[in-house]
Amino acid sequence: MLKLNSKKYKDLNIFYFEDENLRNAINVIDKNYTISEVIKDTKRNYVALIEIEGKKYIYKEPRNEFRIPQRQFSTLLKKGEALTTLVNINNIIELGIKDFVKPLVAVNKRKNGFIVFSFFLMEYAQGEDNRKNLDLIVKRMQEIHKLGYYHGENITIGENVLIEPFVRLGNNIKIGNNTIIKSGVIIEDNVIIGENCYIRENSIIGGEDFGIETDIDGSTVRIPHFGGVRIGNNVEIGAGSTVCSGTIEETIVEDYVKVDYSVNIGHNTRIGRGTLICSGALIGGSSTLGNNVFIGMNASIKSKMIIGNNAVIGMGSIICNYINDGEIFTNEMADKLENIKIIRNLKQKILKRRVK
């Protein structure tokens, strides 16, 4: 197993396996190199072909991990992209898999535990430029985009937004700065997502709810949903969760709301600022939740309910009545059927006494 070395130099942490690459890192930090070609220069990545002491290397800054707040926050508990790439790829090469360009050295700088700057060097490998199928690939991608498989029209995307592969965007969508949209997400028409949001894998934003009405002859009719969804700033939507479109007016999720996995938020619902919704919760359409509400796992809220500020709804609770500010509603724990019958009878007796 390779031995990873580290050294502090000018407030920067240098990680390397060979002393030669320590010298290369110091040369880069001291600006003792020349840039032969800038390959990529975006807000998320910077990649360049550089030359140090007559030898070529690939230099990369993974800027997204210190420019996108959510990514930077995760570096508090992680090695960061530069160091992870150095360690993982070298270990793979040591196992005998040679089809990788070798990372040579990783450098980062931390402030209060967070990565605020990083880069790594890789060996320069000049391969064959094979563009045999490039024209066909470009043509196919143009057809895909033209047909709207991945995105529609009138889309505004802010700065430092990360949208992973296999995301589908509808029409009339606005996504704020520094938001992350993970793979498999579907965002339907008329959706606004604020800044610094985190939309997790395979969630659906703005899809039609179960808006079904029964006609006089007993046939069912689907009600169109045109209202869309408006999500505030610093909101998280968990994987597999659904925020349904409003019918005429918007479904609204205010700032700092955090939604766990597999949650359903019905049409025309309003979720107040700072509310926390745990996995498996179901919120019926046209409900209003106040600020800083807590909803436990697998809780169910009937349509058109009003939940006050700072209310707490316990795990598995079924809410069919309005809840006032600060009230706590909880469900009984599972018990033997005979015990439940006894407790139910006792409840009925106590309630009858109170009525008298």
Query: Do residues 181 and 163 lie in contact, with contact meaning Cβ atoms separated by under 8 Å?
Result: yes
Work out the widest C-alpha separation in the chain, in whole angstroms: 97
* Per-residue tokens: 47: 């990649």
| Active site residues per annotation | 267
- Check residue 331 and give left, alpha or beta (phi > 0: left; psi -120 to 50: alpha): beta
The strands making up 312-313's β-sheet, listed across from edge to edge, are 162-163, 180-181, 198-199, 236-237, 258-259, 276-277, 294-295, 312-313, 328-329
As a three-state string, the secondary structure of 26-55 is HHHHCCCCEEEEEEEECCCCEEEEEEECCE
DSSP type of residue 323: B
**CB-based contacts of 11, cutoff 8 Å, min separation 6:** 109
Among 262, 302, 256, smallest CA distance to 278 is for 262
Which amino acid is it at 192? I
Q: Alpha-carbon distance 271 to 256, whole Å?
A: 10
